[in-house]
Chain A
Amino acid sequence: MVIKVLTGNYTVAEAVRLSNVDLITAYPITPQTTIVERLSELVEGGLIKARLVRVESEFSALAAAYGAASCGARAFTATSSHGLLFMHEMLWWVAGSRVPMVLAVVTRALGPPWNIWNEHTDFMGQRDCGWLMAFAENNQEILDTIIQLYRITEDEAVYLPGILGLDGFLLSHASEPVDIPDEDVLKDFIKPRSQPYNMCSDDVLTMGNLPMAEEAMMMRYDIHKSIEAAKNVINEVDEEYRKLTGRSYGGLAECYRCNDSKYLIIAMGGWVGTMKDVCDELRDEGYDVGVLKIRFFRPFPHEDLVRAISGVKGILVFDRSASLGSLGHIHAEVLARAYMLSNKVIVKGVITGLGGVDVGPKEVREIFMRFVKDVDEDGQIDNISEWVLGGG
Chain B
Amino acid sequence: MSSTHKLPISRPAIGVVGKTGYWRLKRPEVNYVKCIKCGICWLYCPDSSINILGDPSKYVEVDYNYCKGCGICSNVCPVKAITMTEE
Contact = CB atoms under 8 A, between A and B. Distances in A.
User: Does chain A bind chain B?
Assistant: yes
Interface of A: 96-98, 156, 159, 195-198, 201, 203-209, 211, 215, 218-219, 221-222, 226
Nearest to B3: A196
29 contacts: A96-B8, A97-B7, A97-B9, A98-B3, A98-B5, A98-B8, A156-B4, A159-B3, A195-B1, A196-B3, A196-B7, A197-B7, A197-B9, A201-B1, A204-B48, A205-B10, A206-B9, A206-B10, A206-B11, A207-B9, A208-B8, A209-B8, A209-B9, A211-B8, A219-B6, A221-B6, A222-B5, A222-B6, A226-B5
> Which of B3, B9, B48: most chain A Cβ within 10 A?
B9
> Which of A98, A198, A209, A226: most chain B Cβ within 10 A?
A98
Contacts of A195: 1
A98 B9 CA distance: 10
Interface string B36-73: 00000000000010000000000000000000000000
B12 interface: yes
B5 A196 contact: yes
Contacts of A203: 11
Contacts of A156: 3-4
> Which of B1, B5, B9, B12: most chain A Cβ within 10 A?
B5
A215 B5 CA distance: 12
Contacts of B6: 215, 218-219, 221-222
B41 to A, nearest CB: 15
A205 to B, nearest CB: 5
The 5 closest A-B pairs by CB, nearest first: A196-B3, A222-B6, A209-B10, A205-B9, A219-B6
Contact of B12 (A97, A204, A219): A204
A209 to B, nearest CB: 5
A207 B11 CA distance: 9
Given A98-B5, A204-B48, 16 more contacts: A96-B8, A159-B3, A159-B5, A196-B1, A196-B3, A196-B5, A197-B3, A198-B1, A203-B11, A204-B11, A205-B9, A205-B11, A209-B10, A218-B6, A222-B6, A226-B5
A208 B10 CA distance: 8
Contacts of A226: 5
A204 B11 CA distance: 6
A204 B43 CA distance: 10
Nearest to A215: B6
Contacts of B3: 98, 156, 159, 196-197
Contacts of A97: 7-9
A197 B2 CA distance: 7
A192 to B, nearest CB: 12
Interface in B1-29: 1, 3-12
A197 B11 CA distance: 12
Contacts of A197: 1, 3, 7, 9
B9 A219 contact: no
Contacts of A209: 8-10
A226 B48 CA distance: 33
A215 B3 CA distance: 16
